[in-house]
A and B are shown apart, each in its own frame.
Chain A
Amino acid sequence: MKVNVKGHIRDLLAFKRLVPRRKKRIARAPAEPLGPDPVNQLARRLHPDRQHLIIAQTRDETRTTRTFKLVADPDSDADRLAYFRAGQYLSLNVAVDGVQITRPYSISSAPFEALGAGGFYEITVRRAQDGFLTPHMWDSWAVGTQIESSGPCGFFYHEPLRDTGQIVGLAGGSGITPFRSMAREITYGELDAHLLLIYGSSDEDDVVFYDEFKELEQTAPDKIQVVHVLSCAEVSLEGCEQGFITADVIEKYADVDNSSFFICGPQAMYKFVEEELAAFDLPARRIRREVFGELKNVTQSPGFPQQLADETFRLKVHIGGVTTQVPAKATETILVAMERANLAPPSQCRSGECGFCRSRLVSGDVYVSPESDGRRAADKQFGYIHPCSSYPITDLEISVPRER
């Protein structure tokens, strides 16, 4: 077989000229250095490794709930906040009594409010009486306090290509915060969706954003509707439901077959609400759940080795070139064990989902609850764990990546 493209001799000559031609083309090109890279610039603006924030204002919403308004720290080099999608959270990186921990908080303000030079985020926090961080926040967070956070994270947002235009928010307690963000973005005109919020509270005094949602409803009556569900015996608020967020309550207000349900609240609420939703036999795509942090009681998770519940194991941690041995309780995550020893391991979602804390199990074995196992298949195969959702069931040795 003989192939000629432009003639036998011409083709051979063309081959011979390949390298000289390449040299010439290179020699003729400008020697200018590389211009800016807007693609990487936008990637970093949307997903900064960390943001340096400062508290600009605090506001008490209820007797146990406080909103912290955060702006870009003028002393840092970042003049703008990362934009986000209504429903996303920030992972705050804070020191409590010298111990470095992270906590994820949904952003309660709207995305449009984060834009521009005066942009801000708000997080709204309920004080936990026996909490580790929240008493500290009440005591020492004030205007001017510097806070380090991640970029916006998480997947609890309305996705028009996937979800219907009708959001039904099923919220409990401080789980209302992502829905405040969505509602404000809807009334601002940037989020094209309707929101029916069915909001459970245990007490009238605990209802967060009552007045504000009333105003939002009045601003956009065709787009925002709130139903309060109160589980206390005495109720004085008008037009609210008494009891819990049951199938009956949901069916009374929601167009069940044409809605996308978004659930956010305390852990106990998920189980309850999901059992109620089961009555409607909805496809999985119609139900979105915000991750809820560490399991409150891992011993109730399927397959947890109950006989080990009282054990404490030895955890050998390699992090940042240093090796440390720390105690680790079977009922506490490996992440918490490391934080207790102030090893400052990386973490964000604290729910097994995001993989930010992904570490290599060098030896030993862990329990991972099936409901918070967000690992890749190959990670399981090659012995990687997410410390935020893994519990020790033997002595362990792990290698934790240093932070970026």
Chain B
Amino acid sequence: MADRTSLQQLHETYDCVVIGAGNGGLGAAAQLAAKGATVLLLEQHNLPGGFASSFVRGRFEFEAALHQFCDVGPPTAKGSVRTFLEDDLGVTLDWVEIPEAYRLILTDPGADLDVTMPYGIQDFVDAIAREVPGSRESVTKYVNLCQEVVEALEYLGQSKGNPDRSVLTKKYANFLKTCPYTMDEVADALRIPERARKILHAQWSYLGPPTSRLNFTVYGAMLYKFLITSAYIPRQRSHEFALALDARIRELGGDIAYNTRVEKILVKACPERSRGNGKVVGVVTSKGDQIQTGHVISNASPTLVYNDLISPRTHVPEIALRACNARVNGLSGFVVYMGLDASPEELGLNEYSYFVYANMDTDELYDSLKTLDAPKMQATLCLNNALPDCSPPGTSIVSITTLYRPEAWRDVRPQDYVKVKNRIANDLIAHLEQATGAPIREHIEELEVATPQTFARYTGSYQGVIYGYEPEPWDSLIPRLMSIQDDRHFDGLEFCGGYAFRCHGYSSSFKSGQTVALMTWKDLIEKGEIEQ
């Protein structure tokens, strides 16, 4: 059966155009199509997924970026991601649960910390209490606080932007009171012993800024969800996730055009709106398509949209540019993908997820991301420990991920590029070998290294950034949520993905697509542009 996308003939007009088929764009396009809107999803690469992708080298298929999908949950206790996929969109995936939470290894002399953490609140607290006697009370308090954060966020979600203030102050006072603070400030207030704090904060690198700047709310919510719903990955890598959504969008009547970059978002002044700068009227693509639409959902960042895409440029308000400059651009990634000709048992790698840090001075670790020396931190996966059959018998897939401030790569010349990335990869492999004792080097059958340039190449993200704006307390989830109206500079223009209000991470960016799609749907109905 030939659907519209296979015929490749685009309409002239759509209810909504979605820019970018990353997690957010896929979620947004699917949700709008499921509602019945006419939607066109445009993607500059020839594949959907953005960072949610995979690639083949020799007899190995590597996961490009996904470590863990949060908030999926088992079929019997669905998390919001599974609910969105299965119940709202009708998409089922072959999800595989990750066996344990994580292993944290600190490698500085004297650091003396190597713990493997379980899921489940009680088991998690017990494990820390065993490792750090006397910490049970404060850690329990911390986890309870995280629970309150998650419940408060759920309440906010249900109240659809109009929460009852008295409910918030009575039921969720601790949530409100910790919102303005960093992870360090909250841990200090709860008097969490230093060593317990290291274990609790291990996953900070999934969000980026050091714990002295990273907002507690967003971390606490992530940690709690992770402990109660564990984490999942799609069996056939995140490419399966992207393709399932691609297929569903087309089934629901949506159109998708790949290899098609949006070059302009056309806006027009609308005098009827008192403080507006105008409204969206269409998009122009690199292939010369001129599409009329009153709604654009952008998976591309505000930074790119306000600087490069809005046309005419004179309509871009100064405040939008100020916001781009005020917000802290996130980190880019660096990944060493390895297909090894030894099994995980032979290598002695028994866990799926390893955080290998020199220490837990996250300011020092973050500073190490600013130069081209090898960062003192890595988050390493052994995929076979979640997916035993992901590579042929007697082999394994190991990937080392670290982060960079993209500016560190500013002066790299083409002729030095491979040397630079190989030197860093070499040091990261050495760090992993030192931490785990695994004899990695002698077993490398396939090796690929991704740099900020690689992430830029495949997604066009500004400076190859893989995270969105850094969630410091002033610009984290809650202030972003409460500023949605202020941040909307054009009628009909919304943002999803890692740069959007939910902050970054697979589940957050994916779910942000649903939220803005529903907002757009509501707008379409209210304006009478569509009949329900």
Q: Which residues of B contact A399 (CB under 8 A)?
A: 2, 5-8
List which A1-24 residues lie within 8 A (CB) of chain B.
1-6, 8, 11-12, 14-15, 17-19, 21-23
| Residues in A neighbouring B8, C-beta threshold 8 A | 318-322, 399, 402
Q: How far is the CA of A28 from the CA of B327 in the complex (A)?
A: 11
With a cutoff of 8 Å between Cβ atoms, the chain A residues found around residue B415 in the complex are 83, 111-112, 115
Q: Say whether A31 contacts B325, CB under 8 Å.
A: yes
Q: Would B260 and A377 count as touching, CB distance under 8 A?
A: no
Q: How far is the CA of A319 from the CA of B5 in the complex (A)?
A: 10
B414 with A83: CB separation less than 8 A: yes
Chain A neighbourhood of B47, CB < 8 A = 358
Assembly CA distance A167 to B148 (angstroms) = 60
Q: Are B174 and A2 in contact (CB under 8 A)?
A: yes
Q: Which of A40-48, A209-217, A220-228 contacts B (4 or more CB under 8 A)?
A: A40-48
Are B307 and A23 touching (Cβ within 8 A)? no
State whether B239 touches A379 (Cβ < 8 A): yes
Q: Is the CB of B463 within 8 A of A40?
A: yes
B260 and A161 within 8 A (CB) = no
Shortest distance in angstroms between A25's beta carbon and chain B's nearest beta carbon? Answer: 5
- Residues of B within 8 Å of A355, CB to CB, are 46, 55-56
Known: A3-B178, A23-B486. A29 touches B323 (CB 8 A): yes
Is A252 interfacial (CB-CB < 8 Å)? Answer: no
CA distance A367 to B194 in the complex (A): 60
Q: A18-B479, A283-B341, A378-B237 are in contact. Are A32 and B180 (CB under 8 A)?
A: no
Residue of A nearest to B57 (CB): A155
Q: Closest CB-CB distance, A264 to chain B, in whole Å? A: 16
Which chain A residues border B479 with CB–CB below 8 Å? 18-19, 21-22
From A25, A45, A159, A384, give the contact of B474 (CB < 8 A): A25
A18: B residues at CB distance < 8 A: 179-180, 473-474, 478-479, 482
Taken together as a complex, chains A and B put the C-alpha atoms of A379 and B410 apart, in Å, by 35
* Given A1-B141, A161-B422, also A378-B54 (CB < 8 A): yes
Stretch at the interface among B25-33, B199-207, B371-379, B439-447: B439-447
Residues on B with beta carbons closer than 8 Å to the beta carbon of A22: 474-475, 479, 483
Interface size, A (range): 35 or more
At the interface, yes or no: B240 with Cβ under 8 Å from chain A? Answer: yes
A5-B186, A15-B179, A18-B478 given as contacts; is B457 within 8 A of A47 (CB)? yes
**Assembly CA distance A294 to B303 (angstroms):** 44
CA distance in complex: A128, B443 (Å):
40
A279 within 8 A of B: no
Given the known interface contacts A19-B479, A378-B239, A379-B239, the answer about A3 and B145 at a Cβ–Cβ threshold of 8 Å is yes
In the assembled complex, the CB of A335 is this many whole angstroms from the nearest CB of chain B, namely 15
B341 touches A15 (CB 8 A): no
Q: Are the C-beta atoms of B417 and A376 separated by less than 8 Å?
A: no
B236 at the interface (CB under 8 A from A): yes
**Which residues of chain A come closer than 8 Å to B186, judged between CB atoms?**
3, 5
Q: Is the CB of A401 within 8 A of B259?
A: yes
Q: Are A382 and B243 in contact (CB under 8 A)?
A: yes
For A284, the chain B residues whose CB sits under 8 A away are 58-59, 341, 445
Q: Which of A244-275 contact B (CB under 8 A)?
A: none
Tell me which residues across on chain A come within 8 A of B243, comparing CB atoms: 378-379, 381-382, 384
- Closest-by-CB residue of A relative to B457 is A43
Which residues of chain A have C-beta atoms less than 8 A from B173's C-beta? 2, 12
User: Chain A 85-122, CB within 8 Å of chain B: the 1/0 string?
Assistant: 10000000000000000000000000110010000000
CB pair B463–A39 under 8 Å, yes or no, is: yes
Q: Which residue of A lies closest to B54 (CB)?
A: A376
Is B155 part of the binding interface, using a Cβ–Cβ cutoff of 8 Å? no
Check if A332 is an interface residue, CB within 8 A of chain B: no
CA distance A379 to B55 in the complex (A): 11
Determine the distance from Cα of A360 to Cα of B250 in the docked complex, in whole angstroms: 12
> Within the assembled complex, what's the spacing in Å between the Cα atoms of A155 and B441?
19
Instruction: List 8 other contacts, CB 8 Å, given A4-B189, A21-B474, A46-B453.
Output: A1-B144, A5-B180, A18-B474, A43-B453, A43-B457, A111-B415, A319-B8, A362-B2
- A binding-site residues for B, Cβ under 8 Å: 1-6, 8, 11-12, 14-15, 17-19, 21-23, 25-34, 37-40, 42-47, 82-83, 85, 111-112, 115, 155, 159-162, 283-285, 318-323, 353, 355-356, 358, 360, 362-363, 374-379, 381-382, 384, 397, 399, 401-404
Where the two chains meet, the residues of B that have a C-beta atom closer than 8 Å to any C-beta of A are: 1-2, 5-10, 44, 46-47, 54-59, 61, 141, 144-145, 148, 169, 173-174, 176-181, 185-186, 188-190, 234, 236-237, 239-240, 242-244, 246-247, 257-261, 286-287, 303, 307-308, 318-319, 321-327, 332, 341, 406, 409-412, 414-415, 417-418, 422, 425-426, 429, 441, 443-447, 452-454, 456-457, 460, 462-464, 473-475, 478-479, 482-483, 486
Q: Can you list 18 contacts pairing A with B, beta carbon distance less than 8 Å?
A: A1-B144, A6-B185, A11-B177, A18-B179, A22-B474, A23-B483, A30-B325, A31-B321, A34-B462, A37-B463, A40-B462, A161-B422, A162-B446, A283-B341, A320-B8, A321-B9, A362-B6, A404-B46
9 tightest Cβ-Cβ pairs between the two chains A and B: A29-B326, A11-B177, A285-B445, A14-B180, A399-B6, A83-B414, A378-B240, A404-B259, A378-B236
